[in-house]
Amino acid sequence: MLFRSNNASVTEFRPSVHGDVTHSRPVAIDFGTLAAPKVVVFYGSNDGVLRAVNGNRSAPIGTVAAGAELWGFMPPEFFGKLGRLRANSLRINFPYLIGSVAPKPYGMDGPVSVHQGSSETWLYAAMRRGGRMLYAFSVNNSDPTTV
């Protein structure tokens, strides 16, 4: 499931707008030039989403402003978490807290690696504690908003 933030409308804020990025190491790639940078930062989070964010200081990438999300990918393994997020039942179980109701979720919290070629960049994202899957994405070098 691919989410594109520039087409979505925001109607409410939730306490968990973004999952924690405890173990994922972000990877930043400049798809542009020194005069016209197109820095994209890729990282995973524990809400189950692998994200691509415009990492430029002020320049947009296409219509996406600096600091905004270009795209996000949620593997089908994490679709079951969506109901819990929608219902806003976000309490998690910590061994030292009484009354917590669910184990701490882990998502795309593994390493992110890349191989950059002349026309495309291959992005590899692992789940670490979130699962045993490894996903590969082909990112277009001339338009990193296209996966």
Residue 140, both tokens: 């277009």
Q: Does residue 1 have a pLDDT over 50?
A: no
Q: Does residue 9 have a pLDDT over 60?
A: no
Place of tokens 């402003």: 65
pLDDT in tens, 27-48: 999 999 888 999 999 998 877 8
Distance of alpha carbon 27 from its chain centroid, rounded?
11
Q: How far apart are CA 108 and CA 29, in angstroms?
A: 19
In DSSP terms, which residues pair with 120 in a beta bridge?
140
Residues 6+ apart with CB under 8 A from 76: 1
Q: Residue 3: its pLDDT value, please?
A: 45
pLDDT in tens, 45-93: 877 888 999 999 999 998 999 999 999 888 888 887 777 666 666 565 5
Q: Three-state SS string across the chain, please?
A: CEECHHHCCCCCCCCCCCCCCCCCCCEEEECCCCCCCCEEEEEECCCCCEEEEECCCCCCECCECCCCEEEEECCHHHCCHHHHHHHCCCCCECCCCCCCCCECCCCCCCCEEEEECCCEEEEEEECHHHCCCEEEEEEECCCCCCC
Place of tokens 């795209």: 71
